[in-house]
Structure 1
Amino acid sequence: MLRSAIYLICLFSFVTNYIIPCSAKDPNLNECAKKHGQESLQDILKGDPKYKIPNMTPLNLPEIMFTSGNLSVHLENVVVLGLEYSKIKEINMDLSKRHISVAILIDNVNLISDYNINGSILILPITGNGRANITFVGGEYRFDFDYVLNDKRDGQYMEIMNDTLTYKTKRSYYHFENLFGGNRALGEHMNTFLNEHWEDVQDDIGPALTKTISAIVKATLGGVISRVPFQEMFRP
């Protein structure tokens, strides 16, 4: 959901034709990439069918499913709001080692969806289905990856390897309607618990969710990577 959007923003910020390519020999390559990436960000967020970039204002996802321990979560009709306020904090490129790192800052992101949840989170059992509302405040999202270059008739194309997506937020808020079969007292107690222990909640479900999102988005990125030769991203 949110992480898939960040994953998309990070990569698309320097592989589309909205940006004047930076020179691979520029001693200020990172600053050049950050400058042009930020300039193009609003166009990127609007989407582009040519590169299979979805509209991200808002971002609509049909569903996302993940498990963490004995917790199972299924989200449907996901809407992510607030991505238009994304800012590129930094881009670090080591073309000799074929490694790139991109950090994105987003002040406030709101996620709304239908949900179905079952299992336990931290020490408490949880079950329910209904509407979910999740807000991330003061987020920094970092995408690191290696790449290899594959030769084709019209040039070399990037293939992402060893990708990781990490994040940290200053705060997050959770509200799930209709928990425990509509038991209002238990539902309010659980929502209060999740918000009081928001950092532990993120630590508990973060790895499983990030792994799932990474796999989904990596497949999506194939539509972009297969259409943009490496030499169009970076001048000699």
Structure 2
Amino acid sequence: MAISILVTTAVTIFLRPDSVISELKPLPDYLHVCRRSNPDIANCIMESAYFLRTKLAAGIPELGVAPMDPMVINTLMPSNGHGIKIETTNLLVTGTSNFTLSYLKANIDRQKYEFQVRFPHMHVLGNYSIDGRIVRMAIKGHGDFDLDIYGVKCNVSLLGNVVDIDGSNYIRFNNISLRIMVDKGKIELRNLFGGDKNLGDVLNSAINSNFIMFFMELRPIIQKVLEEFVLDTVEKLTRHFTYEQLFPD
């Protein structure tokens, strides 16, 4: 069912009120609907999300939906933390389609959804620029990075409403909150201190010995990446379908 896309792309995304509605399409077979009258609609949405998982991983070109795995983010993502400035771009994220849903709460009347998505392992490649101090050490450099994170948990809250556009009802989401947590991880920042291998190795070792502390600096970037990807995906998935198509009586 189409609203399951909200939970799968966490993972996850809003419709913009000024989106242009293209020609209405019949619901494809891979979008399993859940009726508003279903007393266990939350479980129905979760089952629909699992059914859609493979399709989202590969992308849905007929709806303009980019692949979820790998997820490609080319936008510059800045983050200013406690005494450190980090920017990333050209991100390639894998492992996002191998998700499970821990729980889902759905309020169809209010278009409010709260759920937790878990990923066993996510791998991120990209470019970075960093300047500041971490674990009492100065850190400066720019280049490629290689990040692995394990035991990823995303708590997501989506809030929207149903709006009338040209006489038809459409779902529009206007608020998202996504909070990510990880159990452990490892990162390699290449070309630190202008390529000084000895200093780079020492600092990478110090970062990985205090990985969770370092991840807290990266967390705003990763949360922003997931939020923007979810927004774009849901907009493209739902712009073609009315509220009544997605949630029949």
TM-score by length of 1: 0.84
The structural deviation recorded for 1:175 is: 0.7
Structure 2 Cα separation of the partners of residues 230 and 126 of structure 1: 50
Pick the aligned partner of 1:67 from 64, 74, 79. Answer: 79
**Deviation readout 1:95-146 (Å, 9 max, x if unpaired):** 2333102322211111111222223346433211222000110111222111
Query: Does the Cα contact within 8 Å between 1:147 and 1:159 map onto a contact in 2?
Result: yes
Q: Is 1:156 paired with 2:169?
A: yes
Identity across aligned pairs (percent)? 18
Pick the aligned partner of 2:201 from 177, 180, 188. Answer: 188
**Deviation readout 1:77-111 (Å, 9 max, x if unpaired):** 32212223222333220123331023222111111
Structure 2 Cα separation of the partners of residues 165 and 125 of structure 1: 30
* Letter in structure 1 aligned against 2:32: I
Structure 1 Cα separation of the partners of residues 69 and 221 of structure 2: 26
* Letter in structure 1 aligned against 2:39: P
Q: Is 1:197 paired with 2:210?
A: yes
Q: Runs of at least 4 residues of structure 1 off by over 4 A?
A: none
* Letter in structure 1 aligned against 2:63: Y
RMSD, aligned α-carbons:
2.6
Q: Where does structure 1 lack aligned partners over 5 or more consecutive residues? A: 1-5
More helix by share: 1
Query: Which is further off, 74-83 or 161-170?
Result: 74-83
Query: Does the Cα contact within 8 Å between 2:35 and 2:248 map onto a contact in 1?
Result: yes
* Letter in structure 2 aligned against 1:99: K
Pick the aligned partner of 1:127 from 128, 132, 140. Answer: 140
Secondary structure at the aligned position of 2:74 is classed as strand
- 1:142-153 → structure 2 map (5 Å cutoff): 142-153=155-166
Secondary structure at the aligned position of 1:192 is classed as helix
Q: Which fold has the larger relative contact order, with Cα–Cα distance below 8 Å and residues 6 or more apart in sequence?
A: 2
Query: Does the Cα contact within 8 Å between 1:165 and 1:214 map onto a contact in 2?
Result: yes
Q: Where does structure 2 lack aligned partners over 5 or more consecutive residues? A: 1-7, 15-26
Structure 1 Cα separation of the partners of residues 108 and 234 of structure 2: 20
More strand by share: 1
